[in-house]
């Protein structure tokens, strides 16, 4: 997709603030620091629209970006940040769960993982939960440029095995540094947005 317009719309702290224009929504989830903001910026050709290194502690905020007036990318707060309290964790869970289970315009969830490392416990819980509810998901393994190409296949295999990735769930190899996987990911996003 050729992105000609991208704008930050709102940091929504509750369902009443979610947009009402019914454009398709593509949500992004992943651990803090996994590279979610960098991925968004790369996808929309912007250096800094999605803040790199998002502030930890802001556990209850969905950031909406409107792309080409066609769809929204919806950035979830990063999870797995050690300093977050139990209460904040629960608030995160309630907000995300409410969104994922009730949000009609939601078309696809991108679960962002770091290709270099095995999925964390939080990643696995997230993936199992998504699978359980049979939500449409695409796993994105980012930071691919950080390991040699010769080791990609091994890491992908390990990641698929750790997650017990379902055959109907795609996995995209990505790099916000080189743009690897960008066109493939837009293809998957558009297919779901238009479905």
Nearer to ligand GDP, 106 or 142 (CB): 142
Nearer to ligand GDP, 11 or 166 (CB): 11
- By CB under 6 A, the residues from 25 to 84 that bind ligand GDP are 30, 32-38, 52-54, 78
Which residues contact residue 188 at a Cβ distance below 8 angstroms, ignoring those fewer than 6 apart? 108, 138, 170, 172
Minimal distance, residue 30 CB to ligand GDP, in Å? 6
Q: For ligand GDP, how many residues bind (rule: CB under 6 A)?
A: 19
Task: Give the residue, chosen from 9, 145, 147, 156, that forms a contact with ligand GDP under the rule CB under 6 A.
Answer: 145
Distance CA 92, CA 58 (A): 9
Nearer to ligand GDP, 78 or 170 (CB): 78
Minimal distance, residue 36 CB to ligand GDP, in Å? 3
Nearer to ligand GDP, 70 or 145 (CB): 145
Minimal distance, residue 33 CB to ligand GDP, in Å? 4
Minimal distance, residue 20 CB to ligand GDP, in Å? 27
SS3 of the chain: the string is CCCCCEEEEEEECCHHHCCCCCCCEEEEEEECCCCHHHHHHHHCCCCCCCCCCCCCCCCCCEEEEEECCCEEEEECCCECCCCCCHHHHHHHHHHHHHHHHHCCCEEEEEEEEECCCCCCHHHHHHHHHHHHCCCCEEEEEECHHHCCHHHHHHHHHHHHHHHCCCCCCCEEECCCCCCCCHHHHHHHHHHHHHC
Does residue number 139 form part of the binding site for ligand GDP (CB under 6 A)? no
Q: Which of 152, 151, 149, 143 is nearest to 176 (CA)?
A: 143
Minimal distance, residue 114 CB to ligand GDP, in Å? 9
- By CB under 6 A, the residues from 157 to 176 that bind ligand GDP are 175-176
Binding site for ligand GDP (CB under 6 A): 30, 32-38, 52-54, 78, 142-143, 145-146, 175-177
């Amino acid at each position: 997709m050729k992105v000609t317009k991208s704008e930050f719309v709102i940091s929504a702290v509750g369902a009443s603030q979610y947009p009402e224009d019914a454009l398709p929504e593509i949500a992004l989830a992943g651990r803090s620091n996994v590279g979610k903001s960098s991925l968004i910026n790369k996808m929309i050709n912007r250096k800094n629209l999605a803040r790199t290194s998002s502030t930890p502690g802001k556990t209850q905020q969905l950031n909406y970006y409107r792309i080409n007036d066609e769809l929204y990318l919806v950035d979830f707060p990063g999870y797995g940040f050690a300093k977050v309290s139990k209460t904040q964790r629960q608030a995160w869970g309630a907000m995300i769960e409410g969104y994922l289970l009730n949000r009609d315009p939601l078309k696809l969830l991108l679960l962002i993982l770091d290709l270099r490392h095995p999925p964390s416990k939080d990643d696995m819980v997230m993936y199992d939960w998504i699978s359980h509810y049979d939500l449409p998901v695409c796993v994105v393994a980012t930071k691919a440029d950080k390991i040699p190409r010769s080791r990609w296949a091994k890491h992908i295999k390990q990641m698929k095995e750790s997650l017990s990735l379902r055959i109907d769930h795609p996995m995209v190899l990505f790099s916000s540094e080189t743009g690897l996987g960008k066109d493939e990911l837009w293809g998957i996003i558009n297919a779901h947005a238009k479905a």
